Amino acid sequence: MQLELRVACEADTEEIVALVNGAYHPASKESCWTHESNLIFGRRTTPQQVLSLFREQSAILLLCLESKIVACVHVETNQFGTAYIGMLATEPQRQTQGLGKQMLLHAESYAKEHFKASTFKMLILSARPELLAFYERRGYVQTGEIEEYPFAEIGQPIVSGLHFLSLMKTMPKLTAP
């Protein structure tokens, strides 16, 4: 079976929402690497939130197995050339197969090629040390910036003191000989 990388379109919205919510808040108590069910109650995203990402200088990248979406990541840029990477999700039964690493690399490559970005930024939950370690192994470092958890947008916290840590990775700029 062949894996295909492609850019999402609005028709993919419902499947993206199901994938992201299934990866971060699985319906059952299945133990998947990315689940936040012990930290946050509720959905991770909604169709309206995903639809809002279909705009200029923004893309949702998909990894498909045949016609089924098995992984996704969102990447967008700002006027300063920094790319924000988020919503990285892989089907729970396909986690630990390297698909998340592949999608992160794809997001960085896409941002470099399409947005001319050399700096990448992301936010992760402070209560996820294993996630922090995953990104640090890929060259991301904490910026020291902390953002409050957005209670209304993506679920209700089960534990107190949740906040986001800001991570950044800067790629060296290539110079012509």
Ramachandran region of residue 8, left (φ > 0), alpha (ψ -120 to 50) or beta? Answer: beta
22 burial via Cβ count (<10 Å: 0-12, 13-18, 19+)? buried
Digit-coded pLDDT (tens) for 147-165: 887 755 667 777 778 888 9
135 burial via Cβ count (<10 Å: 0-12, 13-18, 19+)? buried
Q: What is the pLDDT of residue 62?
A: 98
Q: What is the pLDDT of residue 110?
A: 97
Polymer length of the chain? 177
pLDDT along the chain (177 residues), means of 10: 90 96 70 63 85 96 94 93 93 83 95 94 90 94 89 69 91 63
Digit-coded pLDDT (tens) for 21-50: 888 876 655 555 556 666 776 777 999 999
Q: What is the pLDDT of residue 175?
A: 55
Q: What is the pLDDT of residue 120?
A: 97
Q: What is the pLDDT of residue 172?
A: 73
Please tell me the pTM assigned to this model: 0.88
Q: What is the pLDDT of residue 119?
A: 95
Question: In this structure, are residues 130 and 93 in contact, taking their beta carbons and an 8 Å threshold?
Answer: no
Question: In this structure, are residues 149 and 157 in contact, taking their beta carbons and an 8 Å threshold?
Answer: yes
Q: Residue 101, SS3?
A: helix
Q: What is the pLDDT of residue 157?
A: 73
Cα 149 to Cα 17, 113, 139, 163, distances in angstroms:
20, 31, 24, 5
Question: In this structure, are residues 103 and 74 in contact, taking their beta carbons and an 8 Å threshold?
Answer: no
Q: Walk me through the domains of the chain, giving residue ranges and CATH numbers.
A: 3-170 (3.40.630.30)
